[in-house]
Structure 1
Amino acid sequence: MIEPNTASWWHSVDAPDCTVCCCTATNKVVMVTFMVLLIVAILFGNIVTLAVVLGTKHFHTPQGYLKASLAAADLAVGVFVVPLSVYAEVHLMATDSAPQWTTLNSQLVGFHPCNVIGPIFAGCTFVSITTIFLLTLERSVAVLRPLHKDAVITRKRTTILIALSWIGSFSLAVSPMIFSGEIALEYNPCSRMCNYALGALDQLPPRTWNVLLLFPTFDFTLLGGTVVINIVSWSSIRQHSKRRKRLAESERQSSGKPTFSDIKAAKTIGALTVAFTASFTPIAVFVVGNVLGNKWCNFSFLAFWVLASSSCWNVVIYSVRDQKFRASALKLLRPLRRKHSVTS
């Protein structure tokens, strides 16, 4: 989410503001249509998730609270981040120039939308990474130490961890502007989003590089820990799965083995981890490329929008992997389907 001032690079070579293969009217319409459909998918999917988790007693568990936190972070992306990109794209269609929202190089002084939207996108991304880590940790306890699960993982502790994850994530999101005057927020015509921007890379002091490394260090640490925990949990699941057909549910519980629902939930969280890691990988590659001095304008668009698109994957994974979630979601949507059939 931090990148050099790619807008100034393009302006310096007299290139147009339209920098990502969208300079025809058709491609501009396709771009806006994609963004609008993404907003609808994010809003619909995460509203359904929140309604199911908060409205169904079965999901009033530590795992359910974590899923609600993840859905809230993803919902914020659909409410705040993507709509601003739609506005900027429409502005580009109407005026043939991207909005000049930046405080870099004193081009614009004072408040502009990216001052808010940039930290929201970064903060929600950090919340998502932290929540997936906590979900993985919660499931690992259920699989590896099933007899201690209820004592270790409580609603109160989970609520505290969720609050700390939000506070810590958004504190980290605004830290670049607090600790370094060389980092600013701007609307980038390459990524079509509000990003953290830097001046010339070869002129940055060491302190700026330290701040710059905060984001990837945090992301890689948590994602790496999540992957390791998933590997340990899945190894245990594999051992228990070999004996699952020979053991009754009561025998598994009395012998300290994880229940079938715990194993299935762990697999669901594992699938969620794989999906989010895949969505974050392009951003990681892009950050490394920036550090090496590469511009990668088109790849910037791909990386940021793959990450934004991941905000609507959760409900798909839950619906495919979790039968109780799927049944609750269908029950919730049934009145809407009846109303649609009557009107049609």
Structure 2
Amino acid sequence: AQRNSSLILCYEDVNGSCIKTPYSPGSRVILYMAFSFGSLLAVFGNLLVMTSVLHFKQLHSPTNFLIASLACADFLVGVTVMPFSMVRTVESCWYFGAKFCTLCSCCDVAFCYSSVLHLCFICIDRYIAVTDPLVYPTKFTVSVSGICISVSWILPLTYSGAVFYTGANDDGLEELVSALNCVGGCQIVVSQGWVLIDFLLFFIPTLVMIILYSKIFLIAKQQAIKIETTSSKVESSSESYKIRVAKRKRKAAKTLGVTVIAFVISWLPYTIDILIDAFMGFLTPAYIYEICCWSAYYNSATNPLIYALFYPWFRKAIKLILSGDVLKASSSTVSLFSE
């Protein structure tokens, strides 16, 4: 039989190969550069966050351990998901085999949900810190932080492993799966029931974050007004120290707000697309799906940038790490805060 010569296949000599939709050489170079930049930023940016928190003793706090664990989830997205997705996106073919496709999809879901849960716990932590500052140190201890970190890892890993390795994601969709599955494709089909669960797993923590953050923002605003009215009268050093601490907490709340907003903006297109797809028979054009995917992946690269913009201590830590000063024996006790 004469093959249509205008069609380019992922695997020329294989029956049932996927059809390739090639980009022009110029577009491919630009796409590879953009995606490589995102992957490298996710890997090295989050590596810097983890190193900073674990190395400098001054950063050993329950909140910062959560931030380091979140960075670990984002780092793993940069290592296990983004490089392979980059090839899939640009080449429009999956060249890494069916088993690795399942593993990648499993990592993708696990690490991304892990990020959601970490952010949610960080929100709760900041909420307690701002609303109940006196009780906060006794409420949110290192062991509580450890429990939050464990939950943020165990739940997503168990969930994604269960979904992908039992084949529960495509139960009842066997015909659709065989229609979509060609050699060189890695499209995960998810049944409507599982998509709803996925959506709720994203939506509920996100809703919690938005509600808590709105409350944090209002309280921080009230505190700021209170401080402005008292600071003009106060001269004592202990009071001015309290004011500085309150300002630092407000700045942390602001940074958290930016992180949450960036997260919602990055993830919303993907979540909505998946939901529409499941109920409309997977109609989304491939390129729109890829844009939604990369919008979500890029979130793993943005958190270190947000910290670098808003936290002077993180910038100072980066300088010490990149200059090699961290290798000195006394470097772990260096003071990173300006006060």
What TM-score results when the alignment is normalised by the length of structure 1?
0.77
Distance 1:162 1:196, change over 3 A: same
Post-superposition Cα deviations, 1:110-168, rounded to whole Å, max 9, x if no partner, equal xx211211111111110101011111110111100000110100001111210121000
**Which one of the candidate residues 100, 108, 114 is aligned to 1:113?**
100
C-alpha spacing 1:181/1:81, structure 2 compared with 1 (3 Å): closer
**Cα RMSD, aligned residues only:** 3.1
Does the C-alpha gap of structure 1 residues 329 and 262 become closer, same or farther in structure 2, counting only changes over 3 Å?
same
Give the C-alpha shift of residue 211 in structure 1.
2.2
- 1:221 has 2:204 as partner: yes
Aligned partner of 2:168 among 180, 184, 190: 180
1:222-252 CA-to-partner distances (Å, cap 9, x unmatched) read: 0001000000111101101112222357448
Give 1:278's match in structure 2, choosing from 252, 265, 275.
265
Residue 131 of structure 2 corresponds to which residue in structure 1? 144
Verify: 1:299 aligned to 2:288, yes or no: yes
Distance in 2, Cα, partners of 1:130 & 1:251: 36
Name which of structure 1's ranges 35-44 and 244-253 shifts more when overlaid on structure 2.
Answer: 244-253
In structure 2, what residue type is equivalent to 1:29?
A: V
Q: C-alpha offsets along residues 250-286 of structure 1, whole Å, 9 cap, x if unaligned?
A: 448989x972222211111111001111101111221
- CA contact under 8 A between 2:49 and 2:68: conserved in structure 1? yes
The aligned residue for residue 82 of structure 2 is 82
1:57 counterpart letter in structure 2: K
Counterparts of 2:250 and 2:188, CA distance in 1: 40
Aligned to 1:18: 20
Could you say which structure has the larger radius of gyration? 2
Structure 1 residue runs of 4 or more that deviate by more than 6 Å after TM superposition: 252-255
Q: Report SS of the residue matched to 1:31.
A: helix
Query: Which deviations, in whole Å up to 9, do the C-alpha atoms of 1:174-215 show, x marking residues without a partner?
Result: 3323372625999x99xx9955314xxxxxxxxx43222111
For residues 243 and 181 of structure 1, the distance between their equivalents in structure 2, rounded to whole angstroms, comes to 53
In structure 2, distance between residues paired with 1:133 and 1:330? 29
315, 325, 330: which one aligns with 1:326:
315
The answer to whether the 8 Å contact 2:48/2:318 transfers is yes
Q: Secondary structure at the match of 1:196?
A: coil
Residue number among 139, 153, 158 corresponding to 1:171 in the alignment? 158
Offset of 1:295 from its aligned partner? Answer: 2.1
- Does the CA contact (< 8 Å) of 2:129 and 2:136 recur in 1? yes
Whole-angstrom CA distance in 1 between matches of 2:185 and 2:261: 25
Q: Of residues 73, 95, 101 in structure 2, which corresponds to 1:99?
A: 95
- Which structure 1 residue ranges, 5 or more long, are not aligned? 1-13, 103-111, 199-207, 337-344
**Given that residues 252 and 259 in structure 1 are in contact (C-alpha distance below 8 angstroms), is that contact kept between their aligned partners in structure 2?**
no
In 2 relative to 1, CA 64–253 (structure 1 residues): closer, same or farther, beyond 3 Å? Answer: same
Q: Structure 1 pair 211/85, CA: closer, same or farther in 2 (3 Å)?
A: closer
Identity of aligned residues (%): 21
The answer (yes or no) to whether the contact 2:273–2:284 under 8 Å persists in 1 is no
Q: Aligned pair in 2 of structure 1 residues 285, 156: CA closer, same or farther (>3 Å)? A: same
CA distance in 2, matches of 1:226, 1:252: 31
332 and 135 in structure 1: CA distance in 2 versus 1, 3 angstrom threshold: same
Amino acid in the other structure paired with 1:72: C
- Structure 2 gaps, min length 5: 1-15, 326-339
Aligned-partner SS, 2:23: coil
Distance across 2 between alignment mates of 1:264 and 1:78: 28
Show the counterpart of 2:336. none
1:341 aligns with none
Task: Classify 1:214/1:179 alpha carbon distance in 2 versus 1 (closer, same or farther; 3 Å).
Answer: farther
Structure 1 counterpart SS, 2:188: strand
Call closer, same or farther: CA 1:235–1:16 in 2, change over 3 Å.
same
Question: What residue in structure 1 maps to residue 59 of structure 2?
Answer: 59
Q: Is the 1:85–1:193 contact (alpha carbons within 8 Å) kept by the matching residues of 2?
A: no
Amino acid paired to 1:83: P
